[in-house]
Amino acid sequence: MVVTCISSTPSPVSGSRPDRAGARFRAEIVEQPDALLRLLADTRAIAVAARAIGRAGPPFIRLVGHGSSDNAATYGTYAFGLLAKIPAFRASISLSVYYEADEETAAQPVVALSQSGRTPDVVDYVERARRHGALTIAVTNEPTSELAGAAEIVVPLGAGPERAVAATKTYVNQLGAIALLAGAIGGREGEIADGLRRTAELLAGAVDTLAQPAVDAARPLAFAGRLFAVGRGVEFATAREVALKLTETCRIAAEPLTTTDLAHGPVAALDSLFPVWAVATRDPCLPTVLEAAKRVRAAGAFLIAAGDAAPEVQGAAVRLPVPEAPVPVLSPLLSIIPGQLVALALAEARGLDPDKPAGLEKVTLAA
Amino acid sequence: MVVTCISSTPSPVSGSRPDRAGARFRAEIVEQPDALLRLLADTRAIAVAARAIGRAGPPFIRLVGHGSSDNAATYGTYAFGLLAKIPAFRASISLSVYYEADEETAAQPVVALSQSGRTPDVVDYVERARRHGALTIAVTNEPTSELAGAAEIVVPLGAGPERAVAATKTYVNQLGAIALLAGAIGGREGEIADGLRRTAELLAGAVDTLAQPAVDAARPLAFAGRLFAVGRGVEFATAREVALKLTETCRIAAEPLTTTDLAHGPVAALDSLFPVWAVATRDPCLPTVLEAAKRVRAAGAFLIAAGDAAPEVQGAAVRLPVPEAPVPVLSPLLSIIPGQLVALALAEARGLDPDKPAGLEKVTLAA
């Protein structure tokens, strides 16, 4: 496959100087379509992993990761359920690494996600699982990392070096790799690969189109100290990742909630000074998002709607629509874009550097 | 077994008038030791459920619930892993109810948690699972509810009527029921039942002892609008439940994080105006909590330490110690108490009624 560069036109997003605060974060957001095409250029390892899982026919798959990688794992629970028809769960790392109570899950395959491949307890988890005889698959941007060395099969993300502390292109490529893997297990590899190629084009367009709307959307958030990000189903991964971007780059206490989480308590905290970000995508969970949006408005909260169904959300003060995904399960690759762009714009407006948030390193070595 | 009333001495917590705001929430916190003894008075249904799971020998157990019941499900992932040696996962309700992609998990047992037994998508989930032939177990405070009718086996919580909107005694009894069920599967029913009886005594003491310290702890939080609650392992359930109590009763945007979640981004949002609640318990995960507490203090944040290891947390501005649990896996029944009491005290200080938070009903019927 030929990797084509489809984001070469300068845009309000891509036209900044490389030494400016947030320049890396910005450049990596813009680079995402190309990064995704690089993942698609070589899917041999994914095919190997899919065959190995197919042969094992496991009752379930374990997903592990932290931060953005854990958000990608949330996506995995849906992608494996919908495409591979295999239950997948975010497994407790502490149950294995700290309590050492993992003999029973030990035979089941592990998909370990880490951009750097250096997250200590994820490496530890994979080493233990492999000692127990489990099939171990590392999905990482660093194919020579410790994690890659620990796992039986390595799926390289091919995103290219990610230098901003806040993950963007590695997150989108993690989603892409998971969709390809789950699709290959379910015999839908061609459909998912084609869908991802088309998604890369749509991504490039969305990054361009949303650049200015994201700057406008960030303006009313200037003094926001907290926010709820609401999504359901596959888009709960997006709610989690939007919340994490806003928390780490803009210092907002942004909490991800499913639509039912919101109804079971947190809605009581809302008022007109409390912004809520609703991920609205045309999928079977959309009615719960529209219902949650209604409750948010009834509580007087400021509502931001992002996703391909953003125009359908009643009472939203801000709408950030994205193109419809070519295959429904791929929508999270597009609906994260408004979150990344608003995080960039708001960090800039606050004089924060999203490339280097306070107290964070690119590789998190803490337990 | 004789049910003894062990919290009959009037205390700063129990001595309020029944018509006062928060009177129900307060009374139900105080009533928890008795409620727990009522659960222990009849464990026949738990024994039936344990034998049914034991016979099935499933590769995993599915846990479903929302709000506090979902926090109890988090506890379940650890209790089943540690006591029953069966992997248990919080299953996606939307994958079944909205995407209808549940054929593959369908054969595995479901433990459905709902105080009221009326949560619509939990009922729906159980009905679907039962149609697919799964063993279905309802853990509910309402043994004549819809959920109880839908499930094959009903485990009554026996907590007595819970009238405050924010759950307290039903949450503690859910933890107790899960521990008893997991213990019975693992052949440790006697040890867990004895441990819970001793826990009920310790609970009564803790509610009394912590009443005034909780009022003092609430004072500096008067203007807090956000908070992170940090825990790991079994105590992540506590971090989630503390956060939910503070959010729904005090309108704080309180987000639960594991210790690694905190390190992977959110630590960047901390400053001296940002309180962090650390659940510190003497268990294999404690070193990660102490490490997280250090990072919190390095960021200048206000630190509250609650749990049996609270005295060991360096730099905490507030310490709310609880007695050590007689069996380690039971610690969350004790470490939730400071959270409930601070929620009560802070709601009072803010002039809010924890019995009836704005926009919430006791039974959440929204999807």
What secondary structure, in 3-state letters, does A150-217 show? HCCEEEECCCCCCCCCCCCHHHHHHHHHHHHHHHHHCCCHHHHHHHHHHHHHHHHHHHHHHHHHHHHH
Residue identified by tokens 């003092």 is B216
pLDDT at A216: 98
Tell me if residue B64 falls in helix, strand or coil: strand
Cβ B311 vs Cβ B321: under 8 Å:
yes
Cβ A221 vs Cβ A348: under 8 Å:
no
Those residues whose C-beta lies under 8 Å from the C-beta of residue A131, and which sit 6 or more positions away, are none
Which residues on B lie below 8 Å from A268 (Cβ)?
247-249, 251, 357-360
Residue type, B12: P
Select the CATH number that applies to the domain covering A44-187 from these four: 3.40.50.1110, 2.60.120.10, 3.50.50.60, 3.40.50.10490: 3.40.50.10490
Which residues on B lie below 8 Å from A100 (Cβ)?
284
- Write out the E strands in B76-131: 88-90, 110-114
Which residues on A lie below 8 Å from B251 (Cβ)?
268-269, 271
Give me the residue spans of the domains in chain A. Answer: 44-187, 209-349
pLDDT at A360: 83
Token digits of residue B212: 């005034």
Which residues on B lie below 8 Å from A164 (Cβ)?
none
pLDDT at A18: 57
State the pLDDT confidence band at B13, using cuts at 50, 70 and 90.
Answer: low
Asked if B225 lies within 8 A of A226 by C-beta distance, the reply is yes
What number is the ipTM of this complex?
A: 0.93
Those residues whose C-beta lies under 8 Å from the C-beta of residue A109, and which sit 6 or more positions away, are A52, A53, A56, A58, A61, A62, A134, A135, A136, A137
Asked if A367 lies within 8 A of B121 by C-beta distance, the reply is no
Angstroms from A295 CA to nearest CA on chain B: 8
Asked if B268 lies within 8 A of A357 by C-beta distance, the reply is yes
Say which DSSP state A247 is in: H
Angstroms from A153 CA to nearest CA on chain B: 24
Whether B176 has a pLDDT exceeding 90, the answer reads yes
**Facing residues of B114 across strands?**
B140
Query: Considering CB atoms only, which of A95, A299, A359 is closest to B268?
Result: A359
Residue identified by tokens 């800039």 is A348
Which residues on B lie below 8 Å from A287 (Cβ)?
367
pLDDT digits (tens, 9 = 90+) for B312-363: 999 999 999 999 999 999 999 999 999 999 999 999 999 999 998 888 887 7
Token digits of residue A263: 């109804």
- Mutation site for A-interface testing, chosen from B61, B85, B92, B352 by largest number of A Cβ within 10 Å: B92
Asked if A268 lies within 8 A of B360 by C-beta distance, the reply is yes
Which residues on B lie below 8 Å from A92 (Cβ)?
77-78, 81, 233
Angstroms from A2 CA to nearest CA on chain B: 35
- Strand ordering across the sheet containing B153-156: B88-90, B61-64, B110-114, B136-140, B153-156
Domains B42-187 and B210-349 share a fold: yes
Topology of domain A209-349 in CATH is Rossmann fold (3.40.50)
User: For the residues B280-298, what does the mean pLDDT come to?
Assistant: 97
Token digits of residue A133: 């005889």
pLDDT digits (tens, 9 = 90+) for B71-128: 999 999 999 999 999 999 999 999 999 999 876 667 899 999 999 999 999 999 999 9
Chain B nearest-CA residue for A235? B94
Which residues on B lie below 8 Å from A355 (Cβ)?
none
- Mutation site for B-interface testing, chosen from A89, A246, A282 by largest number of B Cβ within 10 Å: A89
Token digits of residue A219: 């303006």
Q: How many CB atoms lie within 10 A of CB A198?
A: 15
How far is it, in rounded angstroms, from Cα B193 to Cα B187? 12
What helix, strand, coil percent values describe chain A, rounded to 5?
A: 50, 15, 40
How far is it, in rounded angstroms, from Cα A251 to Cα B358? 27
Whether B9 has a pLDDT exceeding 50, the answer reads no
User: For the residues B165-180, what does the mean pLDDT come to?
Assistant: 97
Chain B nearest-CA residue for A290? B367
How far is it, in rounded angstroms, from Cα A179 to Cα A327? 11
Angstroms from B5 CA to nearest CA on chain A: 31
Say which DSSP state B325 is in: P
How far is it, in rounded angstroms, from Cα B185 to Cα B208? 34
Angstroms from A125 CA to nearest CA on chain B: 14
Q: Number of Cβ pairs closer than 8 Å across A and B?
A: 237
Whether B366 has a pLDDT exceeding 90, the answer reads no
Those residues whose C-beta lies under 8 Å from the C-beta of residue A234, and which sit 6 or more positions away, are A75, A78, A79, A82, A281, A283, A285, A328, A329, A331, A332
- CA-closest candidate to residue B226, choices B201, B250, B197: B250
Which residues on A lie below 8 Å from B104 (Cβ)?
81, 85-87
Ranges of residues in chain A whose predicted pLDDT is under 50 = 1-12, 14-15
Select the CATH number that applies to the domain covering B42-187 from these four: 3.30.565.10, 3.30.830.10, 3.40.50.10490, 3.30.70.20: 3.40.50.10490
pLDDT at B197: 98
How far is it, in rounded angstroms, from Cα B220 to Cα B250? 14
* CATH code of the region B210-349: 3.40.50.10490
Asked if A260 lies within 8 A of B225 by C-beta distance, the reply is no
How far is it, in rounded angstroms, from Cα A94 to Cα A101? 9
pLDDT at A14: 47
Angstroms from B205 CA to nearest CA on chain A: 28
pLDDT at B57: 92
Query: Considering CB atoms only, which of B92, B101, B226 is closest to A225?
Result: B226
pLDDT at A8: 38
